[in-house]
Amino acid sequence: MKWLEHIGQQASRLASLELFRFIGPGFFVTVGFIDPGNWVTNVAAGAQFGYALLWVVTLSTIILIIIQHNAAHLGIVTGLCLSEAASKFFRPWLRFIMLGSAMAACISTALAELLGAAIGLTMLTGLPLPFGALLSALFSAWMLFSKNYQRLEKWIMGFISLIGLSFIFELCLADISWNNVVTGWVTPTVPHGALPVIMGVLGAVVMPHNIFLHSEVIQSRQWHQQGDDIIRKQLKFEFFDTLFSMGVGWAINSAMIIMAAAVFFSHGITVTELPQVMTTLQPIFGRLAAVVFALGLLFAGLASSVTAAMAGGSVFAGIYREPFDMADPHSRTGLAMTLGGALLAILLLGDPFKGILWSQIALSLQLPLTIVPLIMLTSSREVMGEYANTRYGAAVLWIVGLVVIALNVALLADMAGFPLI
């Protein structure tokens, strides 16, 4: 019987090794929703409303898993990223609206990423904000010109690990009400004046550029050319990759709100800029805690600026029905538009903290223009063949899409002075 046990152990080991061949794209995308935009919206949520808005992270992450899983399926089955598929199957007016707004979303995302990295550099070194943003943009371009997804994935996973460790360190120092944390995770409440922050958190977690990026990273591996067996296997492993990596993102986003609630809300401190977080942490927990926060912000900004630039290149190349490739002029143009547009916007910003917060709200407003076309594509047998969404799967996706649309309508009504919530 020992030989059977040995065979079972070997089979289990081989299955584990095989699983790791398929892990990576989810983590590559995860860094996009633990970016400086998330830091701002989560710090605002925790500092203003304590633990009350933790449920938004839970809801957003559930929506994120469903949507990102669907975007990955498109890339696996068709070998096309979302931008390429939209250009191939949609009428010109629809793809113009979808992809034009997606490019604007990539620029808005890159603004938050570069600004966050620049703020982190300013905290640590005193560099002027525009110079820090320029250095961050150059770092992103250099990383992408390496033309190696696997190398980028390792860098990104390293950055995520460092960001996660920084927040574990911060949480160990804070006095946290874990009963209120658990209640906040599962109890939806909308305090007065919280809707813009709620939508900022939603837009910072379920990010349009990440939906495009996930399909791009997946399709780059061209699994659709290896036959149905590989496609089915990858569809199974991809869900684990997405679920696990997005779960890590949920934990880090939750930690940001928990830290802000424990440090700022409990002390009645209003946060209006990220450097204020560092100066507040230092007298309470010591200089090391403040430096760790600044380093985490820097790593988040650098890593996510890479993914934002790549997403911009992917969207623009897809308009010409081409995959992302730094050797291709369309991909380079999209990258330049994303980073250049973000740098220009940073120079014009008067209030960096509010600029990042409103950039995330803008992402939330663009979400329906990405989610609805994605559902249309993945529910089409012309596009997906036998792998098209089932009726049940399509129903779940449409419910998610309608929830996002309803929240955006509520935000617009609130901004117009006619609150619905």
CATH of the domain at 364: 1.20.1740.10
| Inside any domain, residue 151 | yes
| Inside any domain, residue 421 | no
User: 46 is in which domain, residue-wise?
Assistant: 2-415
Residue 234, amino acid: Q
pLDDT tens for the chain, 421 residues long, are 433 343 333 333 333 334 334 445 666 677 667 778 788 888 889 999 999 999 999 999 999 899 988 998 898 888 888 999 999 999 999 999 999 999 999 999 899 889 889 988 988 898 898 899 999 999 888 888 776 555 666 666 676 677 777 777 777 777 888 999 999 999 999 898 888 888 888 877 888 888 998 888 776 555 555 556 666 667 667 777 788 888 888 988 898 899 889 888 988 888 877 777 777 677 666 677 778 888 888 888 888 888 899 899 999 999 999 988 888 999 999 999 999 999 999 888 877 877 887 887 888 889 999 999 999 999 999 999 989 999 999 999 999 999 988 888 887 777 767 666 5
The Cα 400–Cα 364 span in angstroms is 13
Question: Whats the size of the chain, residue-wise?
Answer: 421
Predicted pLDDT at 25? 63
The Cα 314–Cα 322 span in angstroms is 8
Reduced to 3 states (helix: H, G, I; strand: E, B; else coil), residue 261 is: helix
- Report the alpha-carbon angle 161-223-78, nearest 5: 110
Per residue in 373-393, pLDDT (tens digit) is 999 999 999 999 989 999 999
| Inside any domain, residue 293 | yes
Asked if residues 323 and 85 have their Cβ atoms less than 8 Å apart, the reply is no
Predicted pLDDT at 72? 86
Predicted pLDDT at 82? 94
| Inside any domain, residue 284 | yes
Of 117, 123, 129, nearest to 297 by C-alpha is 117
The residues, ordered by sequence, that sit 6+ positions from 223 with a Cβ below 8 Å of its Cβ are: 76, 79, 230, 231, 234
Q: How many domains does the structure of the chain reveal? A: 1
| Inside any domain, residue 420 | no
- Report the alpha-carbon angle 285-288-294, nearest 5: 105
Predicted pLDDT at 156? 67
| Inside any domain, residue 175 | yes
